[in-house]
Structure 1
């Protein structure tokens, strides 16, 4: 891969695309130009972060109450529910449900 810095003055090179899709790295302060002769690619796989369950995981649903609510996934009529303040204090609380049969989560409000 081409150097990202000018070998003459050590400034950062900028990418310049020509009329016929020619690509070159050019220095802003001196006349140095590096013409790209071949396609340059590099892949850097980034490790994925583990996503936290905002509802607290399966242990958070262990001691919650049940109510009559129809699951949008399996149409079962019973669900666990809990309320959480997800917006500002002057807004109503959001009600989260978890189906007692298929463990599908959904919210209201």
Structure 2
């Protein structure tokens, strides 16, 4: 359902109307157009948002990756360290770091075994 938002703008200049509850008017600062707020009483405004909207707006990366992001992670090369996996004993762990705590504290290192996919983290 498409809802028109024309009521928010001046019909003469196209500028956004200033809503003044104390005077009970909606006024255009450019053309001087005025309309009573009672004319807007039948208008219902609904806003819907979700985490995807917030991530887009604030350029955030999700902490939990979806399937598409998993494919990107598989393509990305990670650094490796010569350390045995605590689960399967495979020599050589992939790792990456993130700053999850405050700036004056160390990073968190995330390890993943390329053989059994066992994952664990360590604060440094």
The TM-score with structure 1 as length reference comes to 0.43
Structure with greater helix share of residues? 2
From the two aligned structures, give the one with the greater strand fraction: 1
Higher-Rg member (1/2): 1
Q: Which of the pair has the greater relative contact order for Cα pairs under 8 Å at 6+ separation?
A: 1
